[in-house]
Structure 1
Amino acid sequence: MNTAFERAMAAFEPAHWPLAVGFSGGADSTALLAACALRWPGQVVAFHVHHGLQAAADDFELHCRKVCERLGVTLVVHRVDARHAPGDSPEDAARRARYEAFAHMARMEGAGAAIKSVALGHHADDQVETLLLALSRGAGLPGLAAMPAHAPRNGLHFYRPLLAVPGADVRAWLVGRDLPWIEDPTNTDARYTRNRIRSVLLPALAQAFPQFRATFTRSASHAAQAQELLVELAAQDLETVGDPPRIATLQTLSRARQANVLRHWLMRTHGTAPSAAQLDQLLDQVRACTTRGHRIHLKVAAGFAERQGDFLHWYNARPSPKTSL
């Protein structure tokens, strides 16, 4: 094995089978699917998400079918409505829809045995873009950790075996196999920050710091390791303060540990995350809560943090969606 792509694929060994590959028809997912099909013939399924956001979406699906026929791979397709709500990021809406679609396809009969793992074609350039996006937004460690090489989500295990491989190396391997791919026209749309990073910042970084992909990826790995330690500490502190947290016990912790355990509690118990400003306000109120009459009622994410007796509670301000029968 000589190339970075081939070395990465040789080292890829999913711990959970059966395996699917997220397959958009683009260069990265095509290379990953072809390499997996070559290594594990007859054991890999392709998952294609039809977002319906472009007029060419049907053509994308047709292209994927032809490639899968050539590779001898079963293709499972799921159509989603990935339109974003007003005020939401279109990229985030599409990403959420995609993960939900993967979970749905993993349970479909067309996938054969229930899929346990999904491999995704994100590579080193994607990892750098994600890190730079996080920096531009003032993200904390979870954001600076960028994309994990392995992570459980929606009952599946997601693997990204190409995070250390430059995008150019992935395409070079693909060209050598004479496999076709499609170019998503939105990848050149300058309205998206990620595309501006790709077209402007990455070439400048390559000129100033030729090894930036390796060093940035290493920094993201360090951030991910530090975040794991913070999660372990938060879990221990949550055992101490309780769920919901007892305010007096919270006050025995340092402000940094209060912030850490409250973020962990909000995400683990309520699936929500406060902004930095909201968390600062909440910490100020926890510190000031020294009398029985002190009231806490603060906007936090889509709901409110509120004092009820000796405890801190959170409730969702949005009404539950109506179920159609």
Structure 2
Amino acid sequence: MHPVDQAVKAFQPELPLAVAFSGGADSSALLLACHARWPGQVRAIHVHHGLQAAADGFQLHCEAVCAAHGIPLKVCKIDARKQPGQSPEDAARQGRYQALIEAAEQDWLDEGRLALQPVRSMALAQHADDQVETLLLALSRGAGVAGLAAMPAHWQRAGLQWFRPLLEVPGQALRDWLQQRNMTWVEDPTNTDQGYTRNRIRAQLLPVLEQIFPQFRSTFARSSAHCAQAADLLQELAASDLQAVGSPPRIRDLQALSHQRLANVLRHWLRSEYGTTPSAAQLTQLVQQVYACTTRGHRIHIKVGRGFVQRQGAILDWYNS
């Protein structure tokens, strides 16, 4: 059995299912394989980013593919221009996720204009090569276990079940699957732009890894899975410790923790309560100041993320700058 068919056979989403459909090879293979398995239960959502001249052509291609196969399609146009301090990739990613959520929540109609069941699951087409690239980028940034866990295969968000069913399928296998069925796709010109680090990894590093470690996709995936398990354990420990020290946390109770647990619970507190993540340097400074806070007049006021952590009597507090 072809790896694409094998992956979709093992895929068990709640139906109806929506597929994020760019028109590229990856999402084309995912959409058409899912449609073949669950005819009438699959929809497509195309996000028009408006960032390049080819975007209108992508939309037309997606409309033609969906019309030819009788797949309901929604097209969402977004403004993916970045905000100050935001990377272009992050701006596009955040806009894309929001558009997918909003499209999934809308009413869906068939060709006869009859209402269809609401979408319950969303599938994204990232594959094994994308996962390796994500892991290598995380390594280059010195990420911890949460970052080295790379992309999850399943999670929940905004009332939807989200899946990446192709994470164990190499990118070339997706193109092979389409070519065997005489199906076409569009090529995003930015995918060959060597100005993007991810594209340089794909073009220069992956071929070398293929020669030296032919099984690197599966072995890297195992490492990411181990990191994901470790990250889950750290999350459970942090949640337990935060319950013990309080939120906002009491300085005296924080000081009773080991260095590693103190850093872990402070990171969790800031992320879960305020949606901000300290840098490694900021977290190190905060841990040192918590341990040093042994007198009534000791002041803590440290820049963390988008705001500041400061001492308020017996507790730590955070406020947005």
TM-score normalised by the chain length of structure 1: 0.94
Counterpart in the other structure of 1:20: 18
How big is the shift at 1:123? 0.6
Instruction: Tell me the amino acid that sits aligned with residue 299 of structure 1.
Output: K
Alpha-carbon distance in 2 for matches of 1:154, 1:203: 38
1:119-138 to 2 correspondences below 5 Å: 119-138=123-142
Alpha-carbon distance in 2 for matches of 1:219, 1:288: 37
Q: Is the 8 A contact 2:22 2:46 kept in 1?
A: yes
TM-score normalised by the chain length of structure 2: 0.96
Q: Deviations over 1:11-43 (max 9, x none)?
A: 0001x3331001000000000000111111011
How big is the shift at 1:313? 1.0
1:102-117 to 2 correspondences below 5 Å: 102-110=100-108, 112-117=116-121
Counterpart in the other structure of 1:94: 92
Alpha-carbon distance in 1 for matches of 2:159, 2:108: 18
Q: Is the 8 A contact 1:103 1:155 kept in 2?
A: no
Alpha-carbon distance in 2 for matches of 1:126, 1:274: 26
Q: Give 3-state SS (helix, strand or coil) of 1:94's partner.
A: helix
Alpha-carbon distance in 2 for matches of 1:242, 1:18: 42
Alpha-carbon distance in 2 for matches of 1:264, 1:238: 8
How big is the shift at 1:216? 0.6
Question: In percent, how many aligned pairs have the same letter?
Answer: 63
Counterpart in the other structure of 1:236: 240
Q: Is the 8 A contact 1:22 1:119 kept in 2?
A: yes
> Structure 2: where are the runs of 5+ without partners?
110-115
Q: Give 1:255's match in structure 2, choosing from 247, 256, 259.
A: 259
Counterpart in the other structure of 2:3: 4
Counterpart in the other structure of 1:45: 43
Q: Cα–Cα, structure 1 residues 114 and 268, in superposed 2: closer, same or farther, change >3 Å?
A: farther
Q: Is the 8 A contact 1:32 1:121 kept in 2?
A: yes
Q: Give 1:161's match in structure 2, choosing from 161, 165, 178.
A: 165
Q: Give 2:269's match in structure 1, choosing from 265, 269, 278.
A: 265
How big is the shift at 1:283? 0.5
Q: CA RMSD in A?
A: 1.1
Q: Give 3-state SS (helix, strand or coil) of 1:151's partner.
A: strand
Counterpart in the other structure of 1:226: 230
Q: Is the 8 A contact 2:15 2:121 kept in 1?
A: yes
Q: Residue 302 in 1 paired to residue 306 in 2?
A: yes
Alpha-carbon distance in 2 for matches of 1:116, 1:314: 37
After superposing on structure 2, the runs of 4+ consecutive aligned residues of structure 1 that deviate more than 6 Å are none
How big is the shift at 1:268? 1.0
Counterpart in the other structure of 1:85: 83
Alpha-carbon distance in 1 for matches of 2:133, 2:69: 30
Instruction: Tell me the amino acid that sits aligned with residue 220 of structure 1.
Output: S
Counterpart in the other structure of 1:207: 211
1:119-198 to 2 correspondences below 5 Å: 119-198=123-202
How big is the shift at 1:153? 2.4
Q: Give 3-state SS (helix, strand or coil) of 2:150's partner.
A: coil
Alpha-carbon distance in 1 for matches of 2:241, 2:118: 37
Q: Give 1:245's match in structure 2, choosing from 239, 249, 254.
A: 249
Q: Is the 8 A contact 1:52 1:82 kept in 2?
A: yes
Alpha-carbon distance in 2 for matches of 1:95, 1:156: 17
Q: Is the 8 A contact 1:100 1:154 kept in 2?
A: no
How big is the shift at 1:316? 1.4
> Structure 1: where are the runs of 5+ without partners?
318-325
How big is the shift at 1:151? 1.2
Q: Give 3-state SS (helix, strand or coil) of 1:48's partner.
A: strand
How big is the shift at 1:314? 1.1
Q: Give 3-state SS (helix, strand or coil) of 1:109's partner.
A: coil
Counterpart in the other structure of 1:32: 30
